[in-house]
Structure 1
């Protein structure tokens, strides 16, 4: 490990700030979705990332990095962008129907689902401990959801689908992430989302101009703020990985659940009940342990930022 990676406390602080960015973004999406089409908000989020990373890479290129925009695996970038776009869509629409804290907790099943996919799709050997964590993670999700209670209904499909698409993303990314710059990858992620959503908004039967004309200056500012939070969150993750090992940082990603619960209490007057807290605690413990074991099991150098997230926003 280089000297730059011997600052774990600063790395943890950046991860906590990242969690705050993502939780704040989801809560802002929940609020703004009552005034503007969610598809338009999603387009703004990806467009902001594409523009910001294009400027970033442009500056790197001006400093002599001729390959700043070059990708070694363009097909990988396209498929990865599609999977992340699908995950973000589940998040943006899901928080319109579920409290952000409960949604975030269920969506963070991703490391558990990664273990499941590794066994079923890649035929990897999974230890008894990892199988126990898979069962525990799904048990925690069931405690939060409480099937038959009527608390969330069909809306739970959003975080469950998001966990599945993001786990698929991680299985794909784990094979190639070491060959790509995380900054270049984040640019193409934003570009893929922006192009696809632009095409969908232009050709589909979705109202765009009327909601934009009716939007207040504050609402437009919040739409840009969502893009800023999403892009900043990923950049904080990249910086954190330069300061501490992935295994040290991974458990602190789950601070996002607590931050989401605090924001829900402050701005939406929602407090999870006792069963929800129990389920979120079980899910967080199993998810964090699964993520740590997944990282530890890797025989390559520590994964880059494009492979480490437990949730994509």
Structure 2
């Protein structure tokens, strides 16, 4: 049985695409909030490993059932490893970062990625960067400064987590832009989970965490939340891939920034934390500049978007 198409738009259904992108944003904001909550009971490294192990297992079964051995084919194994390693590094910043600062502010700063892509593409790939793009980059970083407010003591060193996460993910996008056209996004989704699992397994085993004892002592609700984190990450990216096959990317990308709104609502409901007025202003500036930057990044390619490249949600 053939896998569903992704990438070039065979059948455009913009409303369904927008719905799926909104669901993806909801999945990732919920995953970050769940990670912050579970981090108070379970070592972060343990459910960080479980998130990638879940993805690798589920996608392996799904690919085997839908396409057999051929579904696992990859033209660029090294590309898959580098991509997976960069995403694992990005996720590490997310899983540990949300333990140190509120999820809405973390999410907003992390979504500087499309603007960093503009900077890195100009630096590494020597692409021409227009004045409009530089203005958007400057605007996005002004928004980040409004959220962070250096010297205020609001977040301190913790802001390095979302900033580093945005840098890692922007590096991934620039590095893989020219190689992704020959890869299946579904196979890539599997190899992302596999790479993360292979990297994190020896790290977890070498850590002082008593894995089996911790799992045996954990109540059912903690195990359930660990599985939920894996499911939210896996399904969220699948929603994103499917959405990109149903509607133009320029239509979808602004809705990615719903993740900030969902994170704000989740932070209020779960942690009783609400960003202050200046934080809302900064998040709005980042969202506006980031969405415009993502739209320009897609428009400049002049061809249908590949889900591997424009996957701007990095959890």
TM range (shorter): over 0.9
Residue 60 of structure 2 is aligned to residue 54 of structure 1: yes
Q: 16, 25, 33: which is aligned to 1:10?
A: 16
User: How far 1:3 moved relative to its partner?
Assistant: 5.2
Kept after mapping to 2: 8 A contact 1:136/1:282: yes
Matches of 2:10 and 2:300, distance apart in 1: 24
User: How far 1:281 moved relative to its partner?
Assistant: 0.3
Residue 152 of structure 2 is aligned to residue 173 of structure 1: no
Matches of 1:282 and 1:61, distance apart in 2: 43
- Stretches of structure 2 that go unaligned for 5 or more consecutive residues are 1-7
- Stretches of structure 1 that go unaligned for 5 or more consecutive residues are none
Which secondary structure does the structure 2 equivalent of 1:67 belong to? helix
Match for residue 214 of structure 2?
Answer: 211
Matches of 1:132 and 1:207, distance apart in 2: 50
Residue 30 of structure 2 is aligned to residue 28 of structure 1: no
- Provide the aligned C-alpha RMSD in A: 1.1
For residues 108-161 of structure 1, the C-alpha deviation after alignment (integer angstroms, 9 at most, x for no partner) is 000000001011121110000000000000000000000000000100000000
Residue 51 of structure 2 is aligned to residue 75 of structure 1: no
Matches of 1:273 and 1:201, distance apart in 2: 37
Kept after mapping to 2: 8 A contact 1:250/1:291: yes
Matches of 1:254 and 1:309, distance apart in 2: 13
Residue 309 of structure 2 is aligned to residue 303 of structure 1: no
Summarize the alignment of residues 1-313 of structure 1 with structure 2, pairs less than 5 Å apart: 2=9, 4-5=11-12, 7-62=13-68, 66-299=69-302, 301-313=303-315
Kept after mapping to 2: 8 A contact 1:110/1:311: no
Kept after mapping to 2: 8 A contact 1:107/1:311: no
Matches of 2:53 and 2:26, distance apart in 1: 21
Q: TM-score when scaled to structure 2?
A: 0.95
Q: TM-score when scaled to structure 1?
A: 0.96
Q: Which runs of 4+ in 1 moved over 4 A?
A: none
Query: Using a 3 Å threshold, how does the CA distance of structure 1 residues 143 and 46 change in structure 2: closer, same or farther?
Result: same
Kept after mapping to 2: 8 A contact 1:114/1:170: yes
User: How far 1:209 moved relative to its partner?
Assistant: 2.7
Kept after mapping to 1: 8 A contact 2:85/2:195: yes
For residues 241-290 of structure 1, the C-alpha deviation after alignment (integer angstroms, 9 at most, x for no partner) is 11101111000000000000001111110111000000000000000000
